[in-house]
Amino acid sequence: MYVILTYDVEVKRINKVRKKLKEYLIWTQNSVFEGEITKGKLSRCLNELTRLMNEKVDSLYIYKVENPKHITKDVYGVEKSFDEMFL
């Protein structure tokens, strides 16, 4: 499946959350990751993330696209891929 994942976490946890997400998805904007992932890997990723997060103040949104052929992505301005910028 294809997912778009966004997060809002306290500053002291941002780097740990970002580092963990980079193991599973593509970093496309500051708090946004996306990409193809299996249900098993997504479950493992979420399990690891919930251990890093404080669920009383942090949030994580996951948009699941079962069939990526039915999604379009329009980018206005410069399309960024942070993964490519820091390789």
Instruction: State pTM to two decimals.
Output: 0.82
77 torsion bin: left (phi>0), alpha (psi -120 to 50), beta (else)? left
* CATH classification number, 2-66, choose in 3.40.309.10, 3.20.20.70, 3.30.70.240, 3.30.910.20: 3.30.70.240
Q: Grade residue 71 by pLDDT with cuts at 50, 70 and 90.
A: confident
- pLDDT tens by residue, 17-40: 999 999 999 999 999 999 999 999
Chain centroid to CA 68: 16
Domain boundaries, the chain: 2-66
- Distance in angstroms (rounded) separating the CA atoms of residues 34 and 4: 4
Instruction: State which amino acid sits at residue 24.
Output: Y
Q: Grade residue 64 by pLDDT with cuts at 50, 70 and 90.
A: very high
- pLDDT value, residue 33: 96
